[in-house]
Structure 1
Amino acid sequence: MAMAVGCALLGTFFFVWILRRLTFRDMILVPLVGIMFGGVIGAATTFFAYRADLLQSLGAWTAGDFSGVLRGRYELLWVAGAVTALGYLYADRFTVAGMGRGFAVNLGVRYDRVVNTGLVLAAVITAVVVVTVGQIPFVSLVVPNLVTLALGDNLRHALPATALAGALLVLLCDVAGRLVRFPYEIPVSTVVGVVGSVLFLALLLRGGRRMGLR
């Protein structure tokens, strides 16, 4: 887990370094750049796993599946819970930082410190969840955007709703994966990937129509 957290931090700050050198007309394109960046990392990981004859192990480890969450392993998720609670305490600062560097600095918020704190918290939570459960795609892309559209950008109000909506989405997809081919089970990451990709495309099309109206 320590190695996963370190790699997550390194990858996150490198991704931010890339974003700061790009210009976007619509912020919805940022997740697309993230998907491309993740694809490059995934390709490199697959290459090394292939050379070491570990492709099957890599697939089993990274696929999101609750069947491997057993006593002695799931307790690590409390670390993610504690970090999430810490992030909630910073919610107001994250909201102000999201309005831009100039606005945040004028209000007395240390912009760089707040942004870096948010990146560290997100990286730690992601690493803990991936090590314990595996990768569950699109949840962090789709759910926060949908909640923001409904409730606005105030993170103190949106974070609890985001957590509940994300948990509900994963729960429904997990139940669907257990019932579609009963008594066999489809990994929750597969079901969430299908549902999440449809929702994400809907968000992209909505953003494209909004830019066209402008």
Structure 2
Amino acid sequence: MNKKRFILSLLFIVFVIASLLIGVSSELTLKSLLSGNKEAYNVLFRSRMPRTLAIILSASSLSIAGLIMQSLSRNKFISPQTAGTNDAAAFGVLISFIFLGSIPSYYRLIFSFVFALISSLLFIFILNKIKFKNIIYVPLIGLMYGGLLSAVTRLIAYETNTLQLLSSLNLGTFSHINVLNGSMLLILVPVLLIAIIFAEGFNVASLGEEFATNLGVNYKKVLFLGLIVTSLIAASTYLVVGPLPFLGLIIPNIVSMYYGDNLKKNIIDIALLGSIFVLANDIISRLVIFPFELSVGFTMGITGAIIFILLIFKQVKNND
């Protein structure tokens, strides 16, 4: 293990412990755990552990999804947020509710995933038709595309009196996570394994279709697999947690600044840094107005925007 990964691992452990111990309940303390207090272990296993596990799974998954999308699009400012994937996932959930009513969450996930995948395929198709692929203009097109999807979704929600459903999905919070509703995120475990297994293929695909084909990689197959992975991650995290701003955008960029662009080598570090970033923001959200808490999406919107602006200035400076 190199020094940087060792430091990330230590920080990850520290923030995981802090996430488990910080909360409204005074029953859960390190002392009560060591003394075998039953109420403390009840709070730990029913509330704190599911929440922390949900943070780790969603944060690492979205960070890796951003890395895959940036590799496949060959643009550092592409992510599920800037490519309209999250907006398409919300559209899918709305359509499932309108036509099927209150169905189990796993059925909603299917709708959300299908719409996110179709949207991702459409965005890649649009991207391939653009001749002038400036590193800044491409994500701007993605944001406009996502904005159009969001506007259509809100219009349909307004006409069908389902705006409350969208409001509940757009919170971006882990406060409601428990053993039952957090279990759907376990689908991310095999998805993450697939991403790690095919990391080399995604890495080669980032070099372009012609180069990848010359190296014996089926570019279209790898591209489609990458879009399936990112769409499933975006759909499941959006459905359970809501939007987590800037996560898939800034984390891959920060890691690539220090480790280079090798996807296979960076994927573990990106998962660790993404988890640390969300854990830190979640802890801040819990402490700012304690015993109440802010939405982690709100906190990440502020910290993520600051980091994103710095990354843009750095990119523009490097181009000059």
TM range (shorter): over 0.9
SS of alignment partner, residue 292 of structure 2: coil
Q: Tell me which residue corresponds to 2:272.
A: 164
Query: Deviating runs (4+, > 4 A) in structure 1?
Result: none
1:92-103 alignment, distance < 5 Å: 92-103=200-211
Identical positions, percent: 34
The alpha carbon displacement at 1:100 in A equals: 1.3
User: After the TM superposition, which of the residue ranges 198-207 and 119-128 deviates more from structure 2?
Assistant: 198-207
The alpha carbon displacement at 1:11 in A equals: 0.9
The alpha carbon displacement at 1:24 in A equals: 4.3
Distance 2:136 2:260 in 1: 15
Q: Tell me which residue corresponds to 1:135.
A: 243
1:67 has 2:195 as partner: no
Amino acid of the residue matched to residue 241 of structure 2? V
Amino acid of the residue matched to residue 142 of structure 1? I
Q: Tell me which residue corresponds to 2:151.
A: 43
Evaluate the alpha carbon distance shift between residue 97 and residue 22 of structure 1 in structure 2; reply closer, same or farther with a 3 A threshold: same
Distance 2:260 2:137 in 1: 19
Q: Please say if residues 31 and 141 of structure 1, whose CA atoms lie closer than 8 Å, have aligned partners that are also in contact.
A: no
Distance 1:102 1:149 in 2: 26
Q: Deviations over 1:58-110 (max 9, x none)?
A: 11112211012222221111111211111110001111111112221111111
The alpha carbon displacement at 1:114 in A equals: 0.8
User: After the TM superposition, which of the residue ranges 160-169 and 54-63 deviates more from structure 2?
Assistant: 54-63
Match for 2:296 among 166, 188, 192? 188
Q: Please say if residues 170 and 192 of structure 1, whose CA atoms lie closer than 8 Å, have aligned partners that are also in contact.
A: yes
Distance 2:121 2:317 in 1: 32
SS of alignment partner, residue 175 of structure 1: helix
Q: Please say if residues 64 and 188 of structure 1, whose CA atoms lie closer than 8 Å, have aligned partners that are also in contact.
A: yes
User: After the TM superposition, which of the residue ranges 28-37 and 143-152 deviates more from structure 2?
Assistant: 28-37
Evaluate the alpha carbon distance shift between residue 24 and residue 68 of structure 1 in structure 2; reply closer, same or farther with a 3 A threshold: farther
1:176 has 2:284 as partner: yes
Q: Please say if residues 138 and 193 of structure 1, whose CA atoms lie closer than 8 Å, have aligned partners that are also in contact.
A: yes
TM-score, with structure 1 as normaliser: 0.93
Structure 1 gap ranges (5+): none
Distance 1:25 1:8 in 2: 23
Distance 2:200 2:129 in 1: 27
The alpha carbon displacement at 1:50 in A equals: 1.8
The alpha carbon displacement at 1:133 in A equals: 1.1
Amino acid of the residue matched to residue 264 of structure 2? R
Q: Tell me which residue corresponds to 2:135.
A: 27
Amino acid of the residue matched to residue 88 of structure 1? I
Q: Please say if residues 65 and 134 of structure 1, whose CA atoms lie closer than 8 Å, have aligned partners that are also in contact.
A: yes
Evaluate the alpha carbon distance shift between residue 25 and residue 4 of structure 1 in structure 2; reply closer, same or farther with a 3 A threshold: closer
Q: Deviations over 1:12-45 (max 9, x none)?
A: 1111111111134543543333222222211111
Q: Tell me which residue corresponds to 2:194.
A: 86
Q: Please say if residues 28 and 207 of structure 1, whose CA atoms lie closer than 8 Å, have aligned partners that are also in contact.
A: no
Distance 1:108 1:28 in 2: 31
Q: Deviations over 1:144-202 (max 9, x none)?
A: 11111211111111111111111111111111111112222110011111111111121
The alpha carbon displacement at 1:55 in A equals: 2.2
User: After the TM superposition, which of the residue ranges 28-37 and 54-63 deviates more from structure 2?
Assistant: 28-37
Amino acid of the residue matched to residue 95 of structure 1? N
Distance 1:158 1:7 in 2: 29
Match for 2:221 among 98, 110, 113? 113
Amino acid of the residue matched to residue 158 of structure 1? N
1:210 has 2:314 as partner: no
- Superposition CA RMSD, Å: 1.5
Q: Please say if residues 92 and 156 of structure 1, whose CA atoms lie closer than 8 Å, have aligned partners that are also in contact.
A: yes
Q: Please say if residues 77 and 132 of structure 1, whose CA atoms lie closer than 8 Å, have aligned partners that are also in contact.
A: yes
Distance 2:261 2:227 in 1: 18
TM-score, with structure 2 as normaliser: 0.63
